[in-house]
């Protein structure tokens, strides 16, 4: 537990795996921003650049307890193993299409951006299909979220983008209410299990959370796995020869270089006494997943090394833990487990076009977003 400052706002960060697991099942920590003292007393306002990460509207992302279960039920059902089998052929098709286009662009040994041409569009295509978002709207969504996450975006632009997204999603929900189709948005609208139906605001909130979380994070999972393998050729060889599984690569990437650096925020509804410290009621608590993945108590003295054969990799909590554990975890793993082997089976000689240290992160505080990923598809002359 350490004090941090988020663009001028004080909070606590949790960087221990064991403590995070304890706190993430503690019902005294809630996600509703109204439990935050600095929000209650007006110190933090909508003018704070990170406000959109916390005050994201009523949804499964911001509710707790029985309300949270009610808000999450449909999403859990739509993302269960059996339903994911139905979506697998689409992921395979999108992957193949993008790889065809990539091959054409990089045919003559030209440098191509693996992010722009492959990792970035793929998860948005998948989540759009799942939610019933039009293909034509995908570029707008991608550029809106890109600007939303960047700390370089002027805050008034960020607030405008969030308002425009709200309008877009409200429109989509009204369209699906008038003409139900076979997608999760329609599923969220229809109460077919006798329970209390979600309100329009709640459907919009869930839809926002699902599209944002469903595309942004998976881009990073795919790229960071590729980066880890290209900078560890002996491990790549073991994967390509079948000695090490793709699943092992994916889990170790989640642990070592996962998509989420920090998750904002939770608030104690009463003082929480820990062994050597008390988290005061109403303070902000950040879970720092990047540091948690490198916790030496769990992963050993070489926790900073990428090792796809590491047994403790399976213990990563990069998708969170407890009631809010990522409902899309299995979908993200499925996407990566299709995208990565397909990429390397098409381009076994894939190589970075710049030194690995020159791959940079975007100026984003909470997410592990890479700016670009220049590669060559085949061995140069």
Q: Which is nearer to ligand STR, 57 or 268 (CB)?
A: 57
DSSP symbols for 1-15:
-EEEEETTEEEEEE-
Question: Contact with ligand STR (CB under 6 A): which of 217, 220, 288, 368?
Answer: 217
Residues 247-266 close enough to bind ligand STR by CB under 6 A: 260, 263
Question: Contact with ligand STR (CB under 6 A): which of 61, 94, 118, 168?
Answer: 61
Q: How far is the CB of 210 from ligand STR (least distance, A)?
A: 8
The reply to whether 214 sits near ligand STR by the rule CB under 6 A is: no
Q: Which is nearer to ligand STR, 99 or 262 (CB)?
A: 262
Q: How far is the CB of 159 from ligand STR (least distance, A)?
A: 12
Contacts 24+ apart (CB under 8 A), 186-195: 186/132, 187/74, 187/77, 187/78, 188/74, 188/75, 193/73, 195/70, 195/73
For Cα atoms 15, 16, 21, give the angle at the middle one, nearest 5 degrees.
115
**What's the Cα-to-Cα distance from 278 to each of 12, 242, 268, 345, rounded to whole Å?**
11, 49, 10, 52
Q: How far is the CB of 221 from ligand STR (least distance, A)?
A: 11
Residues 317-376 close enough to bind ligand STR by CB under 6 A: 367
Q: Which is nearer to ligand STR, 112 or 133 (CB)?
A: 133
266 touches 285 (CB < 8 A): yes
Question: Contact with ligand STR (CB under 6 A): which of 1, 56, 73, 240?
Answer: 56
The reply to whether 220 sits near ligand STR by the rule CB under 6 A is: no
Any idea what DSSP says for residue 246? H
Strand partners, 2: 13
Q: Which is nearer to ligand STR, 17 or 112 (CB)?
A: 17
30 touches 266 (CB < 8 A): yes
Q: Which is nearer to ligand STR, 72 or 236 (CB)?
A: 72
The reply to whether 208 sits near ligand STR by the rule CB under 6 A is: yes
User: Candidates 53-61, 126-134, 245-253, 373-381 — which segment interacts with ligand STR by CB under 6 A?
Assistant: 53-61
Rg (CA), the chain: 21
Q: How far is the CB of 348 from ligand STR (least distance, A)?
A: 32
Question: Contact with ligand STR (CB under 6 A): which of 44, 188, 212, 375?
Answer: 212
Q: Is 87 exposed, middle or buried (0-12, 13-18, 19+ CB in 10 A)?
A: middle
User: Candidates 49-57, 114-122, 238-246, 274-282 — which segment interacts with ligand STR by CB under 6 A?
Assistant: 49-57
The reply to whether 244 sits near ligand STR by the rule CB under 6 A is: no
218 touches 118 (CB < 8 A): no
The reply to whether 213 sits near ligand STR by the rule CB under 6 A is: yes
* CA 269 to chain CA centroid, nearest Å: 27
User: Candidates 88-96, 187-195, 206-214, 242-250 — which segment interacts with ligand STR by CB under 6 A?
Assistant: 206-214
In this structure, the chain runs to a length of 381
The count of other CB atoms within 10 Å of the CB of residue 358 is: 10
Q: Which residues bind ligand STR (CB under 6 A)?
A: 52-53, 56, 61, 208-209, 212-213, 217, 260, 263, 367
């Amino acid at each position: 537990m350490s004090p941090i400052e988020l663009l001028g706002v004080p909070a606590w960060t949790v960087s221990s795996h064991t403590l995070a697991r304890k706190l993430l099942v503690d019902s005294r920590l809630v996600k509703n921003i109204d439990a935050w003292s600095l929000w209650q007393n007006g110190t933090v306002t909508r003018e704070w650049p990170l406000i959109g990460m916390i005050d994201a509207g009523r949804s499964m992302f911001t509710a707790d307890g029985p309300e949270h279960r009610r808000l999450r039920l449909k999403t859990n059902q739509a993302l269960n193993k059996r339903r994911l089998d139905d979506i697998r052929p689409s992921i395979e098709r999108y992957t193949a299409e993008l790889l065809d286009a990539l091959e054409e662009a990089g045919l003559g040994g030209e440098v191509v951006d693996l992010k722009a041409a492959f990792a970035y569009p793929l998860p948005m295509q998948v989540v759009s299909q799942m939610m019933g978002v039009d293909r034509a709207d995908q570029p707008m969504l991608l550029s809106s979220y890109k600007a939303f996450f960047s700390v370089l975006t002027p805050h008034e632009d960020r607030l405008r983008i969030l308002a425009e997204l709200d309008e877009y999603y409200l429109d989509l929900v009204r369209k699906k209410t008038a003409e139900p189709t076979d997608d999760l948005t329609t599923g969220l609208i229809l109460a077919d299990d006798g329970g209390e139906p979600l309100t329009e605001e709640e459907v919009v909130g869930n839809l926002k959370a699902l599209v944002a979380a469903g595309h942004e994070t998976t881009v990073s999972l795919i790229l960071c796995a590729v980066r880890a393998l290209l900078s560890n050729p002996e491990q790549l060889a073991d994967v390509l020869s079948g000695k090490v599984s793709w699943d092992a690569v994916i889990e170790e990437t989640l642990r070592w270089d996962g998509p989420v650096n920090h998750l904002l925020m939770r608030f104690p509804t009463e003082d929480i006494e820990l062994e050597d410290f008390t988290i005061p009621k109403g303070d902000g608590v950040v879970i720092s997943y990047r540091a948690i993945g490198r916790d030496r108590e769990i992963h050993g003295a070489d926790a900073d090394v990428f090792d796809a054969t590491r047994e403790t990799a399976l213990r990563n909590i990069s998708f969170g833990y407890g009631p809010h554990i990522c409902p899309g975890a299995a979908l993200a793993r499925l996407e990566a487990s299709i995208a990565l082997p397909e990429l390397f089976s098409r381009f076994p000689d894939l190589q970075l076009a710049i030194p690995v240290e020159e791959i940079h992160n975007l100026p984003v505080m909470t997410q592990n977003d890479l700016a670009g990923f220049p590669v060559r598809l085949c061995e140069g002359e």
